[in-house]
Amino acid sequence: MIEYFNTTSGDIALIKDDTHICKWIKEHRRLDFDHAMINRVILPYVPNGSVVLNVGAYVGDTAKALLMDSKIKEVHCFEPNPEAFECLAFNLQEHVHRCVVNNYALGEESASCFVHLPNSNFGMANVVLDEGGDVAVNTIDNYCQDNHINPNFIYADIEGFELNMLKGGRETIIKNRPIMVLEINEPALAKNHTTMKQVFDYLDELGYIYKEVYNTPLKKCHTQFDILCFPPR
């Protein structure tokens, strides 16, 4: 169920029963509740005039923080959960001239899927590939070719579907060499029959170097963390 939360800057559409991100948005009374982290850790690596792919955009919390920076030209958001997408579209409507929202997943190939919600943390909803699924799966390569865009930054938090997304964006990544932020979540990867090593091996194959966003040595990272990925020079 969607609710509309009033703030001094206007209403925010949220998923009422979400016990994590939507709850934190309410507590901070702003959509981009994590703006300080984005500004400090992510934005310094975003090139001027960037075209950004925000994959797993949820209700628009990260996209909002990105759009507040004038050096970003446009943000293309992807969110397969229909309820979260409805919130996303409402929350970012004032940025329609710089933001495109898409209600499907990005994977290795065009397909169909279901969105599975494991618990009351709606941000953990994950994609389950199924021919009878009610949600579409597209690829980065198809999307960028169809829309004539050349992304130079990718921010993806898609609950273990990251390797699938990378494989479906191989040509675009090789061509444009975007800087990327990827979530590494071992339990979520395991649900997709993928390992952290496979993600790292694929990045190695593409010539990328990567580090944990706070510079923690990878060997000391636990089962869930974010990495910054840099293309070869």
Summarize pLDDT for 181-232 with one digit per residue, the tens: 999 999 999 999 999 999 999 999 999 999 999 999 988 888 999 999 999 8
Encoding tokens for residue 14? 């949220």
**Does the pLDDT at position 120 exceed 90?**
no
The CA distances from residue 228 to 20, 141, 182, 218, in Å, are 24, 21, 7, 12
Give pLDDT, residue 219. Answer: 86
Does residue 118 register a pLDDT over 90? no
CA distance 52 to 61: 14
Q: How confident is the model at residue 157 (pLDDT cuts 50, 70, 90)?
A: very high
- What rounded mean pLDDT belongs to the chain? 95
Cβ proximity of 159 and 190 under 8 Å: no
pLDDT at 100: 98
The whole-number average pLDDT for the span 59-88 is: 96
Q: Which of 202, 221, 201 is nearest to 212 (CA)?
A: 221
CATH number of 32-230: 3.40.50.150
Cα angle vertex 33, ends 30, 36, to 5°?
A: 125
Q: Which residues pair with 2 in a beta bridge?
A: 15
Tokens, residue 16: 């009422």
Mean pLDDT of 172-178: 97
The full set of domain ranges for the chain reads 32-230
Average pLDDT value for residue range 49-56: 97
Report the amino acid identity of residue 49: G
Q: Which residue in this structure is represented by tokens 């190939």? A: 109
Q: State the burial class of residue 54 (Cβ atoms within 10 Å of its Cβ: 0-12, 13-18, 19+).
A: buried
What is the mean pLDDT of the segment spanning 141-161? 97
Tens of pLDDT, residues 27-50: 999 999 999 999 999 999 999 999
With contact defined as beta carbons under 8 Å apart, do 148 and 199 qualify? no
**Residue 232, pLDDT score:** 85
